[in-house]
Structure 1
Amino acid sequence: MRSLLLGYALALGAAPVSGPVSGQIPEWTLERGVTVGSVDDPVYGLSRVGGVLADAERLFVLQPQDGKVRVFSRAGEFVRDLGRRGEGPGELMRPNGMGWHGSRLWVTEPMSGRLTFFDVATGEAETIRYRAEVPGSLHRWIPSAVLANGRFVASPAITTGPGGLMAASEIALIVTDPDGTLRDTLARQSIGGNFGKITAGLAVGETWVISPLPDQDLTTFAPDGSSAVLVKRQGWDGRTAPAEFEVTRIDLHGDTVYRRRIEYEPRRVPSDFFSDRIDSSMDRPGINNRRAHARALREFYEQRRYFPPVTAVTVGNDGTTWLAGVREGGEREWLVLDGSGSAIGRIRLPGSSGVLLADLTECWVVENDALDISYVVQYGIVR
């Protein structure tokens, strides 16, 4: 079996490009357009938004809490719901991802290992239960994406070791047929090296596992399953220069489209950033020496001096890649790469907003108001 690991030595074009905060990349203007959602209308109201897709006429909004996909026109008018909460065929219990396979929309349910395919024209649904057949593996494999060729991508359920610490430093993303037959390994993804064990100040036998700043690799797929993007984003160690992170794009056959090492300006963690976390930790049971425990927490946190460079990634409908930086001053800057990995633009959004769907003409963003009510907003892009 030919391995399709993300071999960095095989990557194309490793020349660095400017980073999200360099100021050398043109900043694009956003023009607010359609808003989907309502605070008081049950037809238009949205709960937590798990994803957004669109075709030429419609917008599809995943609602994990409600177990359905809400369908709106591109003008924001409600059209219909796909699915409903439940565990039967065509029903959704805990969905958390969706995409396109041809003209059908697929939705994954990792906890139950199910995938449901919706015909968006008729609403008809097909639900399958996924089970990967990986020789020698003891893992339960979770479906995460459907590729354009009809094969599935899956990853292992995270296991824990003593004290709850993750038992492995990386996981494999595998490619299988729909019946679970293993075909290849698409990539290997770090699950983070930012975890620590704290025992100081705790009762005998007690261990707490903490993760101050998420730094695991980020992997996401193009809406049509034609490619995947992997971002290696561990924060700067303060010693090597320049500070940079890596973005790799691979096609559905596992071939590297590009790899880029992107320089960026590190953002230092403020001295009081972890204070609230330390204060709240003092209220937990199992502490027999508060001073020793607080000192151990602070010493651990103070080793994390810089924020990870990327906080989110979205693959656009047109082959672009959208990378979110660190929140600063209530805003977050997004860097846009073209299909070859070159940085071509950047936008600014409120820090709590996230780009869920985009191309070079528009982006669809989830926003939350002061009451934590979700809205999906379309912005036109002026370049």
Structure 2
Amino acid sequence: MMAMCLLAACDRPAREGTAAGWAVTRDAVAGEDDGPGALTVVGDVTVGADGVVYATQPQESIIRSYDRQGRFLREVGREGEGPGEFDQLGELGWRADTLWVQDPGNRRISFFGPDLRYVRSVSFTSEEPITRDRPNIPGYALADGSVLGYWQAPLEQLVGRTVTDRLVRFTEAGEPASVLDSVELRNLFSVVPTPNGVTYGPQPYTDSPIMQVAHDGSFVVIVTREAAKSADRAAFGVRRVDLAGRVLINRQYPYTPVPLASRAADSTVNAMSSTLSSNGMGRASEASLRREVRKTLYIPSHLTPVSSMVLGRDGTIWLRRERTGEPTIGWTVLDSAGAKLADLRLPTSTMVHYADRSQIWAVEQDSLDVPTLVRYRVTPR
């Protein structure tokens, strides 16, 4: 096994102060063999208190589980609308010894016991003045038994405008209980005219806030990450809010903005244009299609400072930093009070789904885009 030095200074000086160096060792792989444990596209990953890892498989509408060594254990689910079935697998997590699973397609959260037997589900669609009459469905199971709503937003409402989204707690019957916080959604989707109408797609350089719920469901973390408009030092924000709406952390973290290289933006435009053209959505010429794509893309002058977030069961907050085109990407790790623990780097192709002070579970793909789950053992120095 090979240990990797993850301290940012191994590659280049840390830009936001000094933090501890951590090392990781790649020590387990799951889903790499053919057979029932082989993985297809992985949606989300969580780890149980006993170390068992669970991965959603949206293409198959199932959840696969593996032990600490990556050995396949079992699977649960199938496509459908009945108990224990899924239409559209989303995120998943734990409430004590009960696994909860998002299913936006069926507008519900399903709950499973430690043996992965179906227990119950929560299903509702709520349009209330507190949500500004927007349809909300169950999104996250919270520690007090309430449910955080998930706004089913029509894509046309998220193109070319800023929209305020309220984070609303609901009862299991779908009645609004309180507003925890709100976020300003912007630059989430693009729209390109096609011969048959329009095609929506995610904005590759979005700087809309990101939100995650703690593993025990007791608080929410929101990262504000608007792309800097100049080369001056800027800051991103981390806000932690409990279920009563009290702000537990509200801190700003200065950083030096990284310019978005024009060649990177051009490459993104070309890749999107090529995809649309290969799907039969091209315009009169490739040049005109590229112009259409460029017009609809949000291309800031500087990179978004945080590209994703992972919350650890131990209270750590893991922030994936700017996508610079390098083979590795920086991570900033905070403790439960928002203090910096470490600056580290991981391969850019490694998609982290779970992380804490002792381990990281991530999805890696081979040259044929076949995914595997990889565990890294974390050793703080």
Give, in angstroms, the shift of residue 197 of structure 1.
8.1
Cα distance change on mapping 1:88 and 1:265 into 2, 3 Å:
same
Among candidates 358, 366, 375, match of residue 363 of structure 2: 366
Match of 2:4 in 1: none
Match of 1:46 in 2: 39
Amino acid at match of 1:53: T
Distance in 2, matches of 1:209 and 1:57, equals 39
Give, in angstroms, the shift of residue 156 of structure 1.
1.8
Please say if residues 100 and 224 of structure 1, whose CA atoms lie closer than 8 Å, have aligned partners that are also in contact.
Answer: yes
Please say if residues 92 and 100 of structure 2, whose CA atoms lie closer than 8 Å, have aligned partners that are also in contact.
Answer: yes
Among candidates 304, 309, 312, match of residue 300 of structure 2: 304
Distance in 2, matches of 1:278 and 1:70, equals 36
Amino acid at match of 1:214: T
| CA-to-aligned-CA distance 1:142-195 (integer Å, 9 cap, x gap) | 322111111000132223558x72665221111011001110111211211477
Among candidates 211, 227, 236, match of residue 219 of structure 1: 211
Give, in angstroms, the shift of residue 338 of structure 1.
0.3
Please say if residues 98 and 106 of structure 1, whose CA atoms lie closer than 8 Å, have aligned partners that are also in contact.
Answer: yes
Distance in 2, matches of 1:308 and 1:316, equals 23
Q: TM-score, normalised by structure 1?
A: 0.83
Distance in 1, matches of 2:126 and 2:29, equals 40
Distance in 2, matches of 1:57 and 1:195, equals 37
Distance in 2, matches of 1:290 and 1:78, equals 46
1:76 aligns to what SS in structure 2? coil
Distance in 2, matches of 1:288 and 1:34, equals 50
Distance in 2, matches of 1:287 and 1:103, equals 53
| CA-to-aligned-CA distance 1:299-318 (integer Å, 9 cap, x gap) | 88696211100000011101
Q: Percent identity?
A: 27
Structure 2 residue 24 is the aligned partner of structure 1 residue 33: no
Cα distance change on mapping 1:158 and 1:370 into 2, 3 Å:
same
- Tell me which moved more, 185-194 or 244-253: 185-194
Amino acid at match of 1:31: T
Please say if residues 67 and 83 of structure 1, whose CA atoms lie closer than 8 Å, have aligned partners that are also in contact.
Answer: yes
1:223 aligns to what SS in structure 2? coil
Size of the aligned set, in residue pairs, is 359
- Tell me which moved more, 54-63 or 360-369: 54-63
Distance in 2, matches of 1:290 and 1:56, equals 53
Structure 2 residue 151 is the aligned partner of structure 1 residue 174: no
Cα distance change on mapping 1:198 and 1:124 into 2, 3 Å:
closer
Distance in 1, matches of 2:60 and 2:287, equals 44
Match of 2:118 in 1: 124
Distance in 2, matches of 1:355 and 1:302, equals 25
Amino acid at match of 2:248: V
Amino acid at match of 1:246: G
Match of 1:251 in 2: 242
Among candidates 343, 352, 370, match of residue 346 of structure 1: 343
Q: Which runs of 5+ in 1 are unaligned?
A: 1-18
Q: TM-score, normalised by structure 2?
A: 0.84
Distance in 1, matches of 2:162 and 2:356, equals 36
Please say if residues 205 and 304 of structure 2, whose CA atoms lie closer than 8 Å, have aligned partners that are also in contact.
Answer: yes
2:105 aligns to what SS in structure 1? coil
Kindly indicate whether structure 1 or structure 2 has the higher relative contact order, using CA contacts under 8 Å at least 6 residues apart: 1
